[in-house]
Chain A
Amino acid sequence: MPEIKVDDSKCKGCYICIEACPKKCIEISKEFSKSGYYPVKYTGTDCIGCQQCARICPDLAIEVYK
């Protein structure tokens, strides 16, 4: 199953990846990151590995695996 990994040290909490994900499988984390943002995380289900999130992420914070 495809999945994404988010690098908390790079994510700036802009949430445009959430908007871009066709499967709505990215959510805001409740944990505050060291850089001072609420980063995003994978919901854990439904990722199809389309990479739309990674394409729109300005901070190269998302890795997509298949």
Chain B
Amino acid sequence: MQLLNKRPESLVDMKMHYCPGCSHGIIHRLVAEVMDELDIRNRTIGIAPVGCSVFADKYFNCDMIQGPHGRGPAIATGLKRTTPGAIVFSYQGDGDLASIGMAEIVHTAIRSENITVIYVNNAIYGMTGGQMAPTTLIGQKATTCPHGRDAKLTGDPIKMSEMLATIEGAKYIERTSVHTAPNVIKTKNAIKKAFENQINNGGFSMVEILSTCPTNWKLDPVKSLKYVNDNMTKVFPLGVYKDSKGGE
């Protein structure tokens, strides 16, 4: 019997702390598979955010730094500029990237830093117990909007891929999802393109991945996948928002 799906070397063989059905685990595996396939593990430096994926530095089997909330792109900038041979990625949640880290991500894109950003959008502050995020859908309940988000009070969900795509320096921006197996494959291809763009000195790239938080959404894992399909993809349409990969 031949094993068809070998565990990627770029992921440490240990149990992850994520809740049952949380998409963070799928996305970790995909990033690790891409590092294996591009054979870049030994020169990759990742930045773990503040959020549920704060322990990503334990899980990825490459050099890792755990940074302050939202500042991943700033750390990545320093690392890439001082260590240009390294492949640098920042792994960030939506609270991290679209709220406290908004300035960092925008200016990093404007400077077209040659880094790869993995942006995990689960429309909630997962780690802190389910507060409203800038990405929370209209009508979606959170502890800080128990009756559902109201646009009159807190505006509309921020669409980071659409916004960043307007920036000249942003070279590759795609939004994908991991709610079905075919979408998982598409996400892996997008992550691979984003890393290849960096290897080719193509400039700033980001993959936004729609992801579940069954615990704080108060939905079981199967219903959470359906929520992504029925609700999230309507507000956050999947697709390539920018592909002007330059490089050498």
The residue of chain B having its C-beta at the shortest distance from the C-beta of A2 within the complex is B4
- A58→B15 contact, CB < 8 A: no
* B20 and A64 form a contact (CB under 8 A): no
- How far, in Å, is A41 (CB) from chain B's closest CB? 16
Known contacts: A16-B21, A19-B225. The answer to whether A55 contacts B181 by CB under 8 A is: yes
Are A49 and B4 within 8 A (Cβ)? yes
Q: Return chain B residues, CB-CB under 8 Å to A10.
A: 15
Partner of A60, one of B3, B19, B23, B25: B25
Interface residue B153 (Cβ < 8 Å from any Cβ of A): no
Q: Is A9 touching B21 in the complex (CB atoms < 8 A)?
A: no
Complex formed: what's the CA distance from A3 to B26 in Å?
21
Q: How many residues of A contact B (CB 8 A)?
A: 29
Residues of B within 8 A of A13 (CB): 20
Q: B221 to chain A: which residues have CB within 8 Å? A: 14-16
Q: Give a binary string over B9-25; 1 marks a CB under 8 Å from any A CB, 0 the rest.
A: 00100011011111111
Chain B hits for A66, CB < 8 A? 1-2, 4
Within 8 A of A (CB), among B157-189: 178, 180-181, 184-185
A26 interface residue per 8 A CB criterion: no
A20-B181 contact in complex given A13-B20, A63-B3, C-beta closer than 8 Å: yes
Which residues of chain A come closer than 8 Å to B18, judged between CB atoms? 58-59
In this assembly, does A51 line the interface, its C-beta being within 8 Å of a C-beta of chain B? yes
- Is B80 an interface position by the 8 A CB rule? no
Kindly list the 6 A-B residue pairs having the minimum CB-CB distance in the complex, ordered from nearest: A58-B25, A14-B21, A52-B181, A12-B20, A14-B20, A14-B221
